[in-house]
Structure 1
Amino acid sequence: MFVPISNTPRPYAWGDRTAIAGLLGREASGGPEAELWLGAHSGSPATILDPEAVGGYDRLDEWIAADPERAIGSDRSRLPFLLKVLAAARPLSLQAHPSAGQAVVGYEKENAAGVPVDAPDRNYRDAYHKPELILALSDRFQALCGFRPLEQTRLLLAALVPAGVSAEVDELRELLGADGDAKALRRSVRWILTGTDEQTTALIDALTAGASRKGVEDFAAERATLLDLAGAYPGDPGVVVALLLNRVELRRGQVLFLPAGNIHAYLEGLGIELMAASDNVLRGGLTSKHVDVPELLAVLDFTPIDAAPLAPERLADGVVRFDPDVPDFSLVHALGDDVGPVAVPVRGPVVVLATGGSFELRSSGDATRLVRGEAVYVTPGERELTIEGSGELFIATIG
């Protein structure tokens, strides 16, 4: 069964004012439009455009709750993924997400302590993990992702602030060279996030002064990001933590996968985000929201990575699948002037979004046509989808 769905963008302050509307062929609201959610998450559940077809329910989460066997299948109790269109005009908060085990323990601990689920200082709003991926739709999608190999960070610090110029930067340099990579990074991040305001100010002042020096050619992207973050979040220790992370630039169509424990921040760009349906976020800075340093340190994976894009699996000409090693989701991307017909195996419920052109969707029991800006929810009885058309299409399904 194909169920047409839609939603309105979330007006977070960091959102772009025109990117989502321009992508989907809609009229812009006039305010920031950060995320368009297509799923059943209670934060912004999708709207069902033909309520009579599903017993009168006009929200996807309400229909799933009322008729779970038909809507999501008898073998599950919730839609495990959430598909988003994300448009960042300025940086999001520096953040990480827990593993499945950490989420259960944290959620039960805060429940036992009597912390309301909607409290601003709550860390765990549900008992689920939140791995995620982002596919770049803009020509460049800018992000920070995971800790950079320490040798590169030491070279960056040396280029910004030579030894002996700043006592605070020298102390950071010493911490980063004290132990093995993960231990050194854990100790350094704890020191940065628990330091005094005076220490933080001195660090940022020394680092930004170094980044502003004329004649410095190395690490151009990292220096520009440091100056941008320091200007947007003056005095925030997250500015210094960000300097320890990989600076990533995705080209259009490339995907970055962010597993549990990965510290990251989207800086700028338009993309398709697919994640496990959870609202568990541990923040480390670049935000006015709650930061819990001990809990963040417990969740973070301090192993340095190279933050390479996720490799796609080719299904057919113009059709690829991105399938990270998680059970919650995978993403199929179709792009071209003459796509298909292509049979796309799916497992469980599916969300399909067209961002350009026109595509026909067929299954054993239903058929529909999607054009730019339209989305459909597919019930789990449809075990295989056939797509045919031209333009751009995304299929989110179980991993």
Structure 2
Amino acid sequence: MFVPIANAPRSYAWGSTSLIADYLGSEPSGGPEAEVWLGAHPGCPARVVGGPHRGAGLDEAIAAERRPQPALLLKVLAAAEPLSLQAHPDDVRARAGFAREDAAGIPRDAPHRSYRDPFAKPELIVAVTPFEALCGFRDPALALEVLDALAAVDARVAPAAARLRAGDALEWLLSGAPDVADAVGAATGAGPAIAAQHPRDADTIARIAATHPGDAGLLVALLMHRVRLEPGEALYLPAGNLHAYLEGLGIELMGPSDNVLRGGLTPKHVDVPELLAVVDRSTLADPRLPSLELDGATAYRPEAPFELRRVRGLHRLGEPGRRLRGVVLAISGASVELEGARHELAPAGAAWIDADGTAEIAARDAWIALERDTPARPDNPGDAGRHS
């Protein structure tokens, strides 16, 4: 099964007006272009642009072939300003939250809904341009240095440092208490004074204050790693990881989910109790994910049911007796040999593939998102409406 697909960028306010268009060679819309979804998630399924299912959604085409829906979602993501401060649930929490909100009669597309599907959303992001992000909690001693430096300039920041020493800084910062607002305002004003000593933290304060003035996420950000990815570097964000992208273009691979639990830096629905219930408060040593070099490709293999490969040359993938399922995004165009047939993708062309055995791809630059540990398809595929 080789299904050519395409999708239009989603126009979230934080999106870039040029990065996606420049990367994919498309005509810019003139507004923000944040994400291109290449998958079958019902929130924004890719459309089929060739073959017998032309014009259908990818989810519909896969269901018509009686095959399982994808266990992954590939995105091209372009941020011009900070995204929401967020974390994602694991499978157990996602199923329970989805069932609870369904039982409460909350429409699945309601703006105030937290769980839009019953699936986990582990995420992998690989930088295409230099990419700035907040990811996981750093050593509290490092955060205290910054908060104490701010408090030395304006004493109203001192309660934040005291809460961090007491171990309940995150809960306090997201509580909406009046002294939190005072601390955020004080830190915003004191930021330039610590720039020589803490340049990256001062820049984080300035970035967030420019787009989300007064938001408690400004101080939460100082508890977290500020990471700069160079092109080709990656982050893996498992369930519970608190994060927020700040700027840049990347290729994002995730579970087949749109479950986002937000704590701030957004006009969208914020669900602090649910975020606090899922967030991982442990200290993260280094959030970067190392890559692995293969013949003709670079592979990114997190502890998740998917992996991402960047192909620059001739690359063979798959193995006999295993199912090969995923998305190909051919930035420079590609030739794909699958089940004895050769398929051509134009520059920026994409396709969903589902076949037994192996495949071969030749490209100067292409991305392949693959499901992992997928057995060969039985004669009777069973319930084709469920995610594998």
What is residue 181 of structure 2 aligned with on the other side?
201
What is residue 177 of structure 1 aligned with on the other side?
165
Pairwise CA distance, 1:114: 2.4
What is residue 395 of structure 1 aligned with on the other side?
368
1:101-145 deviations in whole A, cap 9, x for unaligned? 11111112222222222222211111110001111001x100000
1:12-37 deviations in whole A, cap 9, x for unaligned? 11111111111111111111111111
Equivalent of 1:290 in 269, 274, 278: 269
Quote the sequence identity (%): 44
For the residue of structure 2 that corresponds to 1:314, the secondary structure is strand
What is residue 136 of structure 1 aligned with on the other side?
127
Equivalent of 1:383 in 357, 369, 374: 357
C-alpha distance in structure 1 between counterparts of 2:84 and 2:255, whole Å: 19
What is residue 171 of structure 2 aligned with on the other side?
190
Query: Scaled by the length of structure 2, what TM-score is found?
Result: 0.91
C-alpha distance in structure 1 between counterparts of 2:287 and 2:219, whole Å: 23
Q: Once superposed, what is the RMSD of the aligned Cα atoms? A: 1.7
Matched to 1:394, the amino acid is W
1:166-198 deviations in whole A, cap 9, x for unaligned? 1x42222122112xxxxx1xx2111111133x4
C-alpha distance in structure 1 between counterparts of 2:254 and 2:21, whole Å: 22
C-alpha distance in structure 1 between counterparts of 2:176 and 2:362, whole Å: 57
Pairwise CA distance, 1:84: 0.6
The answer to whether 1:330 aligns with 2:269 is no
C-alpha distance in structure 2 between counterparts of 1:9 and 1:195, whole Å: 34
For the residue of structure 1 that corresponds to 2:152, the secondary structure is coil
Q: Structure 2, unaligned stretches of length 5 or more?
A: 373-388
C-alpha distance in structure 1 between counterparts of 2:269 and 2:2, whole Å: 40
Matched to 2:56, the amino acid is D
The count of aligned residue pairs is 369
Matched to 2:187, the amino acid is L
1:272-314 deviations in whole A, cap 9, x for unaligned? 0111011111001001111121111101000010333211122
CA contact (8 A) 2:150 2:157 kept: no
Matched to 1:343, the amino acid is R
Task: Report 1:108-147 matches (<5 A).
Answer: 108-138=99-129, 140-147=130-137
For the residue of structure 2 that corresponds to 1:122, the secondary structure is coil
What is residue 227 of structure 1 aligned with on the other side?
206
What is residue 191 of structure 2 aligned with on the other side?
211
What is residue 319 of structure 1 aligned with on the other side?
297
CA contact (8 A) 2:75 2:253 kept: yes
Q: Structure 1, unaligned stretches of length 5 or more?
A: 70-76, 179-183
Pairwise CA distance, 1:4: 1.3
What is residue 364 of structure 1 aligned with on the other side?
339
1:7-66 deviations in whole A, cap 9, x for unaligned? 111111111111111111111111111111111111211111124x24x65221111222
Task: Report 1:7-22 matches (<5 A).
Answer: 7-22=7-22
Change (3 A) 1:172 1:225: same
C-alpha distance in structure 2 between counterparts of 1:348 and 1:219, whole Å: 48
CA contact (8 A) 2:173 2:216 kept: yes
Pairwise CA distance, 1:345: 1.9
Query: Scaled by the length of structure 1, what TM-score is found?
Result: 0.88
Matched to 1:274, the amino acid is L
1:126-165 deviations in whole A, cap 9, x for unaligned? 1110001111001x100000111101101111232228x4
Matched to 2:112, the amino acid is D
C-alpha distance in structure 2 between counterparts of 1:58 and 1:118, whole Å: 21
For the residue of structure 1 that corresponds to 2:220, the secondary structure is helix
What is residue 244 of structure 2 aligned with on the other side?
265
What is residue 384 of structure 2 aligned with on the other side?
none
C-alpha distance in structure 2 between counterparts of 1:137 and 1:34, whole Å: 14
Matched to 1:385, the amino acid is A
1:212-271 deviations in whole A, cap 9, x for unaligned? 127x42221221111120121112111111121110100001111000000101100001
